[in-house]
């Protein structure tokens, strides 16, 4: 690794040694106390690299200001990364291992478990010839999502502080809670943060820029049945388990996650609970186009009505809850964030694609609350599992993109 990559990597190793797994079943904010502890650790480090006005608020958000070092007018730019890791896979005892100067062959994550990476299984590895590749040891996720984002932002602030000849305007940083549960950013005080626009450093592949995302709601079917002894059930019983299965199997197969890609939407049925007295089916609705999104929801309403007619003895209720909406249109109306980002990508000779994320980001919610926030690649791949990896070459590119954004904003 070159000295810059080594600095970022050393920070990253320290950060992933702290377990900050979030908990979607928790009713508190943040959902795990370890995020609060990590927040205070980051706050102390922020002060040493040049941030002022450093604060950990009541919810655990860490914010700070890197003051402008020029009298020239410049917007206030925000950089975001999240502290928590996903609960889907073990986030404890993360042990990064470096695979230096990748030669294009197979990378061994864990020989005993027969865990490997190769260009055949991970096509983007072929873009990383010569880079140092980082993985975990096969017993945990890597937590590149998103602690490599934190490490990059922190190192950028240190770099600017050590090089006052590089002029930049005011830079705000925020390290956020519960991104993986989708619940944390709702508690973030956008007005107090005071940025004109911002960027989440929380994407994956080099050059992929998320400037749009799904419209998203949750959907819940609640089924109250009519039960009796099965020996005398004819003409009387309404079995919620059977009705739940019928609802799920009746949804069109070409509108499921496993049959769609790109900007195609889907409905995912992800949880079933219940028995002969009642049952509940939970899912999510996703679609980039708002008109199609509303059509999906109407299709679900029609499905519920169809099953009410089919099972008149049962009570079937349907509920939607709003999660987030597509940020694409707002970024077009307030283009400065994207203009500076695209200029930085061109300057650093990074081929890029403007993508519509098949998911949601903190940036999507921030954008809809008045802070335009596209999502920049952070340099990791395969998040949320033991095959996660990152390229230190990609991470360095992210660093220079953020540097260029800050410098060009003064111009």
The residues that are catalytic are 84, 179
Q: In what order do the strands lie in the sheet with 380-381?
A: 97-99, 133-135, 389-391, 380-381
Whole-angstrom distance, CA of residue 140 vs CA of residue 384: 9
Whole-angstrom distance, CA of residue 100 vs CA of residue 1: 8
Whole-angstrom distance, CA of residue 153 vs CA of residue 37: 19
Whole-angstrom distance, CA of residue 101 vs CA of residue 107: 11
Helix or strand run (H / E) with residue 375: strand 375-377
Which residue do the tokens 């040891």 mark?
A: 137
The angle subtended at Cα 329 by Cα 328 and Cα 330, nearest 5°, is 95
User: Helix, strand, coil proportions of the chain in percent (round to 5)?
Assistant: 35, 25, 40
DSSP secondary structure of 236-270: T-B-HHHHHHHHHHHS-GGGSGGG--TT--EEEEE
β strands within 204-291, DSSP E: 208-213, 215-224, 266-274, 278-287
Task: Count the alpha carbons within 13 Å of 302 in the hemisphere toward its beta carbon.
Answer: 9
Answer whether the bond into residue 342 is a cis peptide, omega within 30°. Answer: no
Whole-angstrom distance, CA of residue 388 vs CA of residue 326: 27
Q: In DSSP terms, which residues pair with 216 in a beta bridge? A: 286, 324
Whole-angstrom distance, CA of residue 34 vs CA of residue 92: 11
Whole-angstrom distance, CA of residue 274 vs CA of residue 281: 9
- What region does 123 belong to: left with phi over 0, alpha with psi -120 to 50, or beta? alpha
Which residue do the tokens 């945990």 mark?
A: 140
Mark out the alpha helices in 26-98 (DSSP H runs): 33-48
Output DSSP code: residue 90: -
């Amino acid at each position: 690794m070159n000295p810059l990559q080594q600095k970022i990597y050393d920070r990253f190793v320290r950060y992933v040694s702290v377990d900050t797994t979030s908990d979607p079943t928790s009713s508190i904010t943040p959902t795990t106390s370890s995020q609060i502890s990590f927040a205070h650790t980051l706050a102390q480090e922020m002060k040493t690299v040049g941030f002022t006005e450093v604060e950990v608020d009541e919810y655990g958000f860490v914010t700070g200001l890197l003051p402008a070092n020029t009298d020239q007018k410049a917007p206030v730019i925000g950089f975001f990364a999240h502290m928590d890791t996903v609960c889907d896979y073990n986030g404890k005892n993360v042990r990064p291992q470096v695979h230096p100067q990748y030669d294009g062959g197979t990378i061994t994550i864990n020989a005993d478990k027969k865990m490997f990476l190769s260009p055949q299984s991970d096509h983007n590895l072929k873009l990383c010839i010569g880079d140092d590749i980082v993985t975990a040891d096969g017993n945990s996720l890597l937590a590149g999502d998103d602690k490599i984002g934190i490490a990059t932002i922190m190192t950028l602030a240190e770099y600017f502080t050590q090089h006052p000849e590089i002029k930049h305007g005011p830079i705000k940083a925020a390290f956020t809670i519960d991104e993986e549960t989708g619940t944390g950013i709702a508690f973030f005080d956008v007005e107090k943060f005071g940025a004109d626009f911002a960027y989440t450093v929380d994407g994956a592949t080099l050059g992929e820029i998320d400037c749009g995302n799904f419209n998203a709601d949750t959907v819940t079917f609640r089924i109250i049945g009519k039960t009796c002894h099965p020996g005398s059930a004819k003409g009387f019983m309404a079995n919620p388990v059977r009705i739940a299965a019928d609802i799920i199997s009746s949804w069109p197969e070409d509108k499921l996650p496993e049959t769609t890609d790109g900007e195609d939407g889907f409905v995912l049925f992800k949880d079933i609970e219940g028995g002969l007295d009642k049952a509940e089916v939970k899912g999510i609705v996703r679609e980039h186009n708002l008109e199609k999104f509303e059509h999906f929801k109407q299709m679900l309403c029609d499905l519920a009505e169809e099953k009410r007619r089919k099972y008149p003895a049962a009570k079937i209720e349907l509920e939607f809850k709003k999660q987030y909406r597509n940020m694409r249109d707002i970024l077009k109306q307030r283009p400065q964030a994207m203009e500076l980002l695209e200029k930085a990508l061109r300057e650093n000779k990074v081929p890029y694609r403007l993508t519509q994320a098949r998911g949601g980001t903190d940036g999507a919610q921030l954008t809809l609350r008045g802070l335009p926030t596209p999502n920049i690649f952070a340099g990791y791949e395969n998040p949320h599992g033991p095959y996660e990896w990152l390229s230190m070459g990609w991470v360095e590119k992210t660093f220079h993109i953020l540097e260029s954004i800050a410098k060009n904003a003064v111009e």
